[in-house]
Amino acid sequence: MKQDVKVINKQRRLETGIIVLISLLLLFVGCATEPGGPSVGRGTATGAGVGAAAGAVLGAVTGNNVKGISKAEGAIAGAVVGGLLGGVIGNQRDAMARQNASVNQRLSSAEQQANTAVVNIANSNGSTTPVMLHRSGNQWIGPRGEVYNNMPTEAQLKPVYGF
């Protein structure tokens, strides 16, 4: 009887150790989130956390059904392997998200440049005044909000922006 109590206590300590180990693993992996925005680094932490939890469950089930491996040993091994794999997959997702954001930013910049034109106005003293126009649909909008149905010429802009 005393022997059974010792075995049960040992197993409880082992299970408690597993819970503490998995909790620490999730805590440290969760702290790997990078600063710089709400979504940056989230995939790594989330992937590692989900992988560790799923790995612990699968490892415990495997350990319970395989002779020579305890449920606790299976849970620990599963949590470690699952956490590592989940972290790698999450890190890859983060890298893809950063790359997509960079491409979208470049496309937006190129689109903005394509819809912007500068007309240089020759002033009476020999200097030039650049007037930046933005296209909106088929119309061009000047710096003061004036709207032109076609791209305005230097002669059209000189009375407003030149001297």
Calculate the average pLDDT of the chain. 78
Asked if residues 152 and 140 have their Cβ atoms less than 8 Å apart, the reply is yes
Smallest CA-to-CA distance from 81 within 25, 24, 30, 124 is with: 25
Do 52 and 96 belong together in one domain? yes
By percentage, how much of the chain surpasses pLDDT 90? 12
Which residue spans within 2-138 are E strands per DSSP? 116-122, 128-136
Number of domains in the chain: 2
**Predicted pLDDT of residue 25:** 61
Do 53 and 122 belong together in one domain? no
pLDDT band at 29 (very low <50, low <70, confident <90, very high): low
Do 38 and 71 belong together in one domain? yes
> What does the alpha-carbon distance between residue 140 and residue 135 come to, in Å, rounded to a whole number?
4
Tens-digit pLDDT profile for residues 99-110:
999 998 998 888
Domain that holds residue 147: 115-161
Smallest CA-to-CA distance from 57 within 89, 40, 79, 35 is with: 79
Token pair recorded at residue 102: 């960079």
**Predicted pLDDT of residue 113:** 80
Asked if residues 47 and 33 have their Cβ atoms less than 8 Å apart, the reply is no
Do 120 and 105 belong together in one domain? no
